[in-house]
Amino acid sequence: MSQPQKSPPTKRKFSLHPKASGEGHQLSWHMPKPFQRNPPILTDRRKREIDHERPAPDMDQLRHRGFTGVFQRAGVALHALFTRRSSNAPKPSSHSGPALVTEDNLMFLESRWDEVNEGGAYDNLGFEDDDGEPVDPSLLDDLDNLYKIGQRCTFIGQDYVNWNVCEPDGKEHAAKDLLDRQEVPRMPWHDVACVLSGQIASDFSRHFIQRWNAIRTSRIRLATKGTSEREKRRRKPLLIPSEPCAPWTTDKLDHVLRDPRQASLCQVQALRSVSIWSLAVPAGNVKRGYRTEFRRWLYGHSPKPVTPSPNERERGLETSILSAYVNSILDAKSFILIENQFFISYIMSSDFNAQVHTDTPEDPSRNKPAYSAAADTDPHERLPKTHQIAQVKNRIVDAIFLRILRAHKEGKPFRVFIILPLVPGFPGEFGNPTSRSQHIIWHYTRLSLFSGEQALFPRLARQVPDPNDYVSVCGLRTFEEWPNGNLKTELIYVHSKVMVIDDRLMIVGSANLNDRSTRGKRDSELAVLIENNPYQSDQPFCPFVRRFRRSLMAEHLGVLPTLKRVNRDEWSDDLLNDPVRSEFFHGVWQATAKRNAEIFEEVFNVIPCNRLKTFNDCKEHRQKIPMSVHSPRKALELLQQVRGYLVRFPEEFLASEDLTPPPGTMEKLAPALIWL
């Protein structure tokens, strides 16, 4: 009996317009290109754990290579505990595992952290390093030792770091000590952050979606066509904004959001510093158009080459952070408080080959942008026109100068509080000629504030009797007595990026005050402008902003109740409500900063300080034995007079030295833009 022959597979066909012969014109239908290959299967990395197929790992590889002694033994015990199974605990059954939900071939793993069972087992199959390692009871004693070390050593391994001494290396050596803890203090940081809930969170989520999609697209283009790497990068999903949902909060966060002392209903605005490269904003067919015009000019079909207009050249650029800073400063009524990691603004160029900078050119199209987007407007449109050559083009310091000048002409008090790091955050011995990275940042900071014709203080000195009546520039420093009796000091590195205006509004985000962060064409930055809700209160200030500013100043002055050293009997806390008053600005703020700086210089011979004008001065200063070493008891008595952390900024430090990098050095060969 003959076997039935299996007919060959036929292609799906579609009939189009029939021919005259009666036979239909047929077209073969093929699977679209993206699906010709095997479609990618998205699986959860932890699925093998559910099927109990994950091989047992090598414990020697799981241990951190930096763990030694008690850390190594305690690490084994901790790993065994975190795998949540003890030697006498039964293996979890299949029905006790987390639910695996399948939807459109996408798998999601749902699991949670459970409480400790009576048998000493933790059950959480969602933990990626579940290896079923039994707990050795003899190792539990080492956990107590690790706990004791944690009590004495808050920062383990490279968490104990001083950025002016060395930078942390790779993650594989996270537990390795880079510093001598008996000699080198850890550098503390000061930062500011906030929690946002509401529609503003949706705005920021859309920004991150744009950034993700832009990076994904750029990485695909960088990979060679037809390679597996390009296909691998194409599998990364594009993100799409989702529908609004209720905010996810933990118990503690929910408590904070409901506490009127910590949270408040405010009006907020998302700010960005982005451009075409960071968000992949479509810029039209601009490049090809210019190439065509150039060819026409080259072959004589056009009288002159076409150059891009400012609007076309900056299409897709958003500088709303810079606009918010400039406009808020110009609209300030009584005071400005600025804390930032950098302050590099509006420095004139001495290079004749520098690009001519015109903030408000004569081209009328710049004042009337062709595109109806707020991001295309000039952030300096409210400032006077200038055609000077500028190396640093953001004009924040120019806005501060103009606002102070207006207050002086009106005869009204106006204060500007600026807080910066005392030393730039680069490795090196500040004041040593080899610390070029630190000196470059210091050089540009001085050109913005203290030296040069366009710096803030020299410009003010030509217009007002005493610039110190309007501006105060400070840093932060602290000290501690170690268990061995040694006295140590270290600066507090200011990493925050915040500005408060009149207790009415504040800007907090990631943008430094330099061209790199504010002009949009380089680093992408985020910030938020917070101000009072006009529908909730008729007060001239925002209660949330005032509470924040008061606590910030109280911390720097040492009167915050939660501080270790609190001194609250010397002046009334009511002065914090009005920082414009001379009793506060001169009698408290500047007097505290000056006195603290003098004590630190006398006790520790700190660097930087105003007495050191040259590199030789710094070298001789380091050879002196400080009071903290030869007379520790007397030094401790003086340190008891320190109030808070505020110190005067040493604006005259290395004033007699040329801090530009010498020829032939790496810092000189590198483009100046990386520092600005």
**302: pLDDT strictly greater than 90:** no
Q: Are residues 401 and 267 in the same domain?
A: yes
304 falls within a domain? no
Q: Are residues 137 and 204 in the same domain?
A: no
pLDDT category, 143, cuts 50, 70, 90?
Answer: low
pLDDT category, 324, cuts 50, 70, 90?
Answer: very high
6 falls within a domain? no
Q: Are residues 552 and 445 in the same domain?
A: yes
Domain boundary among 152, 180, 213: 152
Domain boundary among 152, 184, 219: 152
Of 32-41, 196-205, 504-513, 635-644, minimum mean pLDDT range: 32-41
Closest alpha carbon to 576 in 470, 509, 500: 500
CATH of the domain at 449: 3.30.870.10
- In the prediction, which pLDDT does 119 show? 37
**463: pLDDT strictly greater than 50:** yes
Mean pLDDT of 41-49: 42
pLDDT category, 85, cuts 50, 70, 90?
Answer: very low
Q: Are residues 574 and 664 in the same domain?
A: yes
**350: pLDDT strictly greater than 60:** no
Mean pLDDT of 60-75: 44
Could you give phi then psi for residue 425, rounded to 5 degrees? -80, 65
Mean pLDDT of 194-206: 85
501 falls within a domain? yes
296 falls within a domain? no
Between strands 106-109 and 100-103, the pairing is antiparallel
pLDDT category, 662, cuts 50, 70, 90?
Answer: confident
- The b-or-e profile of 580-612 (16+ CB within 10 A means b, else e) is eeeebbeebbbebbebbbebbbebbbbbbbeeb
359 falls within a domain? yes
180 falls within a domain? no
Could you give phi then psi for residue 319, rounded to 5 degrees? -125, 45
381/209: higher pLDDT: 209
Of 12-16, 181-185, 196-200, 273-277, minimum mean pLDDT range: 12-16
Q: Are residues 237 and 129 in the same domain?
A: no
**530: pLDDT strictly greater than 90:** yes
Q: Are residues 526 and 418 in the same domain?
A: yes
Between strands 335-339 and 415-419, the pairing is parallel
**396: pLDDT strictly greater than 90:** yes
Q: Are residues 416 and 358 in the same domain?
A: yes
Domain boundary among 95, 123, 152: 152
Q: Are residues 494 and 604 in the same domain?
A: yes
Contact 501, 336 (CB under 8 A): yes
Q: Are residues 421 and 489 in the same domain?
A: yes
5 falls within a domain? no
641 falls within a domain? yes
Q: Any long-range contacts for 42-45 (C-beta under 8 Å, 24+ apart)? A: 42/105, 42/106, 42/107, 43/107, 44/100, 44/107, 44/108, 44/109, 45/128
Q: Round to the nearest angstrom and report the end-to-end CA distance of the chain.
A: 88
Mean pLDDT of 484-501: 93
Q: Are residues 214 and 127 in the same domain?
A: no
- In the prediction, which pLDDT does 97 show? 36
- In the prediction, which pLDDT does 62 show? 41
Gap between the Cα atoms of 275 and 428, Å rounded: 34
Kindly report, residue by residue over 531-565, the tens digit of the pLDDT.
987 776 677 888 899 999 999 999 999 988 877 76
Domain of residue 92, residue span: 47-152
How distant, in Å, are the alpha carbons of 255, 306, 327, 333, 498 from that of 529?
24, 40, 12, 17, 10
Q: Are residues 52 and 118 in the same domain?
A: yes
Gap between the Cα atoms of 523 and 640, Å rounded: 43
- In the prediction, which pLDDT does 162 show? 86
Q: How many domains does the chain fold into?
A: 2
- In the prediction, which pLDDT does 533 show? 79
Closest alpha carbon to 455 in 444, 466, 440: 444
Q: Are residues 146 and 205 in the same domain?
A: no
Contact 324, 507 (CB under 8 A): yes
Share of the chain above pLDDT 70, in %: 64
- In the prediction, which pLDDT does 265 show? 82
Of 37-51, 158-172, 186-200, 548-562, minimum mean pLDDT range: 37-51
Name the DSSP class of 474.
E
Kindly report, residue by residue over 241-284, the tens digit of the pLDDT.
777 666 665 566 677 777 777 778 888 999 998 887 787 765 44
3-state secondary structure (DSSP) of residue 26 = strand
- In the prediction, which pLDDT does 436 show? 86
